[in-house]
Amino acid sequence: MDNLTRLTGGSKIYAKKRKHRIEQIPEIVFDETARRDFLTGFHKRKLERKAKAKENALQFSKQEKAKARKAVRKLI
């Protein structure tokens, strides 16, 4: 590869970059109501997670109680 080819090869790279820039999406459109719900719903989602965790803990404690009662019955 001679020096002239090496120095003029950059035009191919620049052409590729220009083509890529033209093929990009010109505009992104957001759904404003969905965006607002997402941004304002952090507290609501946090409360939902908390309620679900509480429900799971309650269910787990019920299962543990049942296991303990079963073990006591088995010993008696």
pLDDT above 70: residue 57: yes
User: How long, in residues, is the chain?
Assistant: 76
Hey, CA dihedral for 6, 12, 16, 21, is it positive or negative?
A: positive
| pLDDT higher at 44 or 1 | 44
* Tens digits of residue pLDDT in 8-19: 778 888 888 888
Local confidence band at 2 (pLDDT 50, 70, 90 cut-offs) = confident
DSSP codes of every residue in 16-49: HHHHHHHHS-S-----HHHHHHHHH-HHHHHHHH
d(CA 46, CA 51): 9
* Global confidence as pTM: 0.50
pLDDT above 80: residue 22: no
